[in-house]
Amino acid sequence: MKYYTKKPAVLMLQDGTVFWGSSIGKTGTNGGEICFNTSMAGYQEIYTDPSYAGQVVVNTTAHIGNYGVLDLEQESARPTINGLVVNTFSAISSRKTAESRLQEYLEKNEIVGIADVDTRQLVRHIRSKGAMNCIISSEILDLDKLRAELDKIPDMQGLELSSKVTTQEAYELGPEGAGYKIAVLDLGIKKSIMSNLTERGCRLKVFPAKTSYDEIAQWGPNGYFISNGPGDPGAMPYAVDTVKKMLESDKPLFGICLGHQILGLAVGAPTYKMHHGHRGANQPVKNLVTGRSEITSQNHGFAVDTETIKQQEKINITHVNLNDGTVEGFELKDKPAFSVQYHPESSPGPHDSRYLFDHFIDLLND
Ligand SMILES: NC(=O)CC[C@H](N)C(=O)O
C-alpha cells in the first residue's frame, strides 16, 4: 500500500506567520485566501463546492481522509479549492465503498496541501486577525522566495471568479416535459442544488455566468434560479444587471448564497467583506416569518449589508443568523423573489431548510 510520504511543506500567511508540516496532495506551490470550515464531515463536498475557488481550506476537524472519496459525493466535476490545510491526514481509507483514497484524489486533481498543522492554533489566529491570503508549498522551502510568491496572489476583495468555474456551454437536465422550466444562472453551482430542483419536477437549463438576459429569456422559463459561487459579488456587475432584468419579468426568482448577494445588489443593498466568513454545518438561523430556527450549512465570506437592506422599503428580511445577527434571507414585497445566504440543499439539520425549495415551487404555482 502506498502511504503518503512525509515530505516537508510550509504554510505562510499574509501577516508572516509560518506553520511547518507535511506535504499532502500534489507536490507544488499554490495559494489563495485562507478560510476554515468547522464541519465534522463532508470534506469531499467542501473541496468540490466551486464557491471555494480562490481559497485555501482549513478543516477544523482533526482527522481528514479516513473515509476516502466517492464520485457520488462531489458537488461539481472536480475539487476547485486552491489548497488544503489539515491536522491529521489519513493515508488510508476505512470505508468499504470508497473509490479511492484522499491522497490519490488530491494528487490526481493537482491540489497542493499540508498536514500535521496545529489547525486549532491556526484557526484561532485567523479568527482574531481576520481573512487573509496564504500560500502552501512543498517545493519552495526558502521563506523569502515563498514570500515573493505569496505577494503575487490577488486579494479576494474585488475578485471575479464565477467566470472561471461556470459551465462553458448551456445544458439542460431534469425531467423532460416537466411542469416547470427553470433557467439557472450558473455562477459556480453545486450539484445538490440542481437535484433539489429536478426532484421537485423542474426541467433546468443551466446558463454560463455571462449569458445575456435576452438569451436566457428566449428559452421561455417559468422562473429563475441564481446560484452560489466564488469571489466577490461586488465585482460582478454583469450578473447584477441580468438579475435586475429577471426581476422586471415578475417571474419567480430564488437565489442561494452568491445568488442572494447578487439579488441584494440588484435591489440596492451593497455587500461587504466579513472579518472572517461563516463556514460550517451548524450555523443557527432564525426564520422571522415562522419564528422557527434552523441548523444550516454555510460558506460565505461576504454578506449583504444589514443597515442598507433594512432601509429598503420593498424588502422583508426573512432570516437572521443567531450568532451575529447578519442577514440570512430576504424577500421582495412586490415580486415573487427571495433568497438565502445559507445552503438549504445541504443536510446539516439534516433537512431543516429544504422547505425553501418547496416555497419556490409554490411561487411557480401561484
Ligand atoms: N457559497 C457562496 O456562494 C459564496 C458566496 C461568496 N463568494 C462569498 O464568499 O460570500
Domains of the chain: 8-150 (3.50.30.20), 162-365 (3.40.50.880)
pLDDT score recorded for residue 5: 63
Closest by CA to 255, choosing from 171, 335, 164, 175, is: 335
- Binding-site positions for L-glutamine read 51, 229, 231, 258, 261, 299, 301-302
pLDDT score recorded for residue 178: 85
For the Cβ of 278 lying below 6 angstroms from any atom of ligand 1, the answer is no
The verdict on whether omega for the bond into residue 350 sits within 30 degrees of 0, i.e. cis, is: yes
Q: Which grid coordinates are listed for 290?
A: 415562522
Identify which of 37, 274, 279, 302 to mutate to test ligand 1's pocket (most ligand atoms within 8 A of the CB). Answer: 302
ipTM rounded to 2 decimals: 0.98
- Ligand 1 center from residue 228 Cα (angstroms): 6
pLDDT score recorded for residue 4: 55
CA distance 163 to 208: 8
Atom 7, ligand 1: residue with shortest CA distance: 230
Q: Cβ(338)–Cβ(252) under 8 Å?
A: no
CA distance 251 to 7: 55
Parts of the chain with a pLDDT under 70: 1-5
Active site residues: 257, 343, 345
Backbone φ, ψ for residue 134 (5° rounding) = -155, 170
pLDDT score recorded for residue 2: 46
- Ligand 1 center from residue 359 Cα (angstroms): 22
For the Cβ of 301 lying below 6 angstroms from any atom of ligand 1, the answer is yes
Going through the chain in order, the beta strands assigned E by DSSP cover 8-13, 18-25, 29-37, 55-59, 63-64, 83-85, 88-89, 112-115, 132-137, 171-173, 180-186, 202-208, 223-226, 253-256, 271-287, 293-304, 315-321, 327-332, 337-340
pLDDT score recorded for residue 349: 85
Atom 3, ligand 1: residue with shortest CA distance: 228
- Ligand 1 center from residue 155 Cα (angstroms): 15
